[in-house]
Amino acid sequence: MCLAIPMRITERREFDGTTELNGMRRNVALMLTPEAKEGDYVLIHAGYAITIIDEEEAERTLALIEEYTGVATALSEDGAAAEEPTR
């Protein structure tokens, strides 16, 4: 019941806005995220943004994973991974 994807707000109006992902644009309702502004990434479910995505928290979660696994993975631009153990 939770299908949702991140898209970036390119234009904000009072109740809705234009969002973009990989060159695809769609009008999305923004009533549930009154504080979201242009440039923010929001999580879209069934045509409505339900929250702003916190980039810093994403980085923290990735750091937690690194801690958990003892493995640092460096990703290059196209997604290929080079694995190097930190201990």
Cβ proximity of 42 and 69 under 8 Å: no
Measured between its terminal Cα atoms, the distance across the chain in Å is 40
Residue 55: phi and psi, rounded to 5, are -60, -40
Cβ proximity of 9 and 36 under 8 Å: yes
Subset of residues 6 to 65 that bind other proteins, contact rule: CB under 8 A: 6-8, 15, 21-27, 29, 31-34, 41, 43-48, 50-51, 53-55, 57-62, 64-65
In the complex, the smallest distance separating the C-beta of residue 49 from other proteins, rounded to whole angstroms, is 10
* 84 binds other proteins per the rule CB under 8 A: no
Cβ proximity of 47 and 28 under 8 Å: yes
Site of interaction with other proteins (CB under 8 A) = 1-8, 15, 21-27, 29, 31-34, 41, 43-48, 50-51, 53-55, 57-62, 64-65, 68-69, 71, 73, 75, 79, 81, 83
